Amino acid sequence: MSKLIAAAEVIAFHDECVANRGWAKSAAARHGEGLWHFLEVNHRFNNLLWDEEDLARRLHVGDSDIAANKRAIDTYNQKRNDAIERMDEVILSAIAVVRAVSSGRLNSETAGSMIDRLSILSLKIFHMGLQTKRQDATAEHIAACSTKLTRLKEQRTDLAACLEQLIAECVTGDAHYKVYRQFKMYNDPNLNPCLYGARTG
């Protein structure tokens, strides 16, 4: 049951997708349902977010271009968070088959959130790796980025181990977590005063 999700397989999938720079925008989905489907959706939108965040920081384009980037970021971030929650729902449902009630410690971070962080780390590792190979950069830049790359890889290794431990402990009943909804108020026309106010103003 601890193999419900293997961190090493998650990392390998993340890295494979990130290495294909056109994957997020054009590649067909590889997983049609279940945990891996939502994991793939989450990773796709993290990739799209990364590129859009870069574009949003351009200094020599018009305000309308940046506004379009910001709107895309909002959309992608909502879909990314939705996928995190769906991953957690699938994982908790599978664990409940083994253990319906857990009296173990409450973990503040969910497994889905940890998978999301692994996704983001794969992007950081890939792009920091590119910085270490730049021909136009100084030796100091290369050295600094190499140090950062080592730390990012260590962080991912530690996080992967924590994910494995959390799921294993959830299965045995030594730990549990809850799906806390993000309730992104700024995207909801009924909760954002700038949106519902425009309807009544």
Structural tokens at position 20: 């294909």
Angle at 7 between CA 126 and CA 154, to 5 degrees: 50
Is the pLDDT reported for residue 40 higher than 80?
yes
Is the pLDDT reported for residue 128 higher than 80?
yes
Is the pLDDT reported for residue 168 higher than 50?
yes
Are 87 and 174 spatial neighbours (Cβ–Cβ below 8 Å)? no
Kindly indicate the confidence band of residue 2, based on its pLDDT and cuts at 50, 70 and 90.
very low
Are 29 and 37 spatial neighbours (Cβ–Cβ below 8 Å)? yes
47/51 Cα distance (integer angstroms): 7
Break the chain into its structural domains and give their ranges: 2-200
Residues above pLDDT 70, as percent of the chain: 87
Is the pLDDT reported for residue 14 higher than 70?
yes
Are 118 and 14 spatial neighbours (Cβ–Cβ below 8 Å)? yes
Are 164 and 130 spatial neighbours (Cβ–Cβ below 8 Å)? no
From the centroid of its chain, how far is CA 189?
A: 25
Residues above pLDDT 90, as percent of the chain: 74
198/195 Cα distance (integer angstroms): 5
Supply the pLDDT for residue 198: 66
- DSSP of 51-112, one letter per residue? HHHHHTT-SSS-HHHHHHHHHHHHHHHHHHHHHHHHHHHHHHHHHHHH-S---SEEPSS-HH
Residue 13's CB: how many other CB atoms inside 10 A?
19
Residue 81's CB: how many other CB atoms inside 10 A?
20
